[in-house]
Amino acid sequence: MNTSFNKRRVAICAMLTATVIVGCATQAGRGVTDGPLTIRTQGSFFVGGRDLRSETLSAVPAVFSPVGTIAVDQMYVRYQVPDKVTGKPLVFVHGCCLTGKSWESTPDGRMGWDEFFLRKGFPTYVVDQASRGRSAADPSTIVSVKNGKTAPDQLPPVFSSGREGAWEIFRFGPQYPSVFPGMQFPLEAQSEFWKQMTMDWSRALPAPNPTVPALSELAKKIGGAVLVVHSQSGMYPFQAVGLTREGIAGIVAIEPAACPAASGDMTPYANLPILIMWGDFTEAAPVWAARVKSCGDFVKAANAAGGKAESVMLSEVGLRGNSHMLMLDRTSLDVAAWLSDWLGRHIAR
């Protein structure tokens, strides 16, 4: 008997077994059917925007002229259409201090909602809000202040969120670095998540935020879409509906920073499917508890006026431990599957 050969064979079999086990565990963690993903078409474009002519575009005139015309207030859109379309297009809009990356792969490398819903047959449109990510911001005032042409108090109120403050707002725990028991965000990969945070220009933009009319234009361009928004962008689809219902097939507001006032005009929301989703631990965070109540009041008022609105606590449908960043939590695909079922029941193709 060739002992050396047998040892090599045992070693190879052990390696193959380990590979199979790891592969199965990885696929099981995805929570959806694996295999090739067939995309009919994909691409990117911009919506909205305006031309701005300025004499303070550059603080380094030896490299670029400070005088010229740039485009501002446009919204970047990246889209993918599956080979077999079974649902309405979904437009994903990120929240404060983030970009469209929120909807892509999770910080710990799992499938994001963009891919999940694509595999489920939904065309997906992932945007960067105006003046965020790949949607260019306006530097002219900053350059003007630097060159001494404008007073420093006219600098745009841009900001970033430190991880300590974001920790509480995103409800990873009551305060940094303590953690809520059972919280599902993958904190072992938090360093990757913090790299996603970016400077926020929203308070330097006109009202309504240019993202709002851009979303309205995008919905009309698509020909019917569900606007899926998160946190800071929570009010945008309601404001877009106020401009026109054309092209908007429904609204999914994930932990919106605000909802329309219950005392306001509910006419724009009549017969429009609206879902407001909440993760866990909101009762432990006063700012979120107040938002849950305010949005609940809106839902009641909208439905009394012929609406089709719901406010759902995920813990009450068996999905517990979700943070504010529930599209990135370990339970993210379970939440996505629940949402996919909801879309199938409430929004016709």
pLDDT in tens, 325-337: 999 999 999 999 9
Contact call for residues 86 and 155 (beta carbons, < 8 A): no
Does residue 1 sit within a domain?
A: no
Block residue for tokens 């940094």: 176
Give me 192's structure tokens. 């990757």
Whole-number Å distance between alpha carbons of 24 and 7: 26
Does residue 143 sit within a domain?
A: no
Per-residue pLDDT in tens (0 to 9) along the chain, 349 residues: 344 434 333 333 333 333 333 333 333 334 466 789 999 999 999 999 999 999 999 999 989 999 999 999 999 999 999 999 999 999 999 999 999 999 999 999 999 999 999 999 999 999 999 999 999 999 999 999 999 999 999 999 999 999 999 999 999 999 999 999 999 999 999 999 999 999 999 999 999 999 999 999 999 999 999 999 999 999 999 999 999 999 999 999 999 999 999 999 999 999 999 999 999 999 999 999 999 999 999 999 999 999 999 999 999 999 999 999 999 999 999 999 999 999 999 998 8
Does residue 66 sit within a domain?
A: no
Does residue 34 sit within a domain?
A: no
Does residue 85 sit within a domain?
A: yes
What is the CATH number for 161? 3.40.50.1820
CB atoms within 10 A of CB 69: 9
Whole-number Å distance between alpha carbons of 183 and 190: 13
Does residue 214 sit within a domain?
A: yes
Task: Choose among 320, 274, 318: nearest CA to 295.
Answer: 274
- Tabulate helix, strand, coil % of the chain (nearest 5): 40, 20, 40
Whole-number Å distance between alpha carbons of 228 and 122: 12
Does residue 171 sit within a domain?
A: yes
Residue 237: enclosing H or E segment and its boundaries? helix 236-243
Domain with 164 in it: 40-50+73-135+157-346
Whole-number Å distance between alpha carbons of 218 and 46: 9
Overall number of domains in the chain:
1
Does residue 10 sit within a domain?
A: no
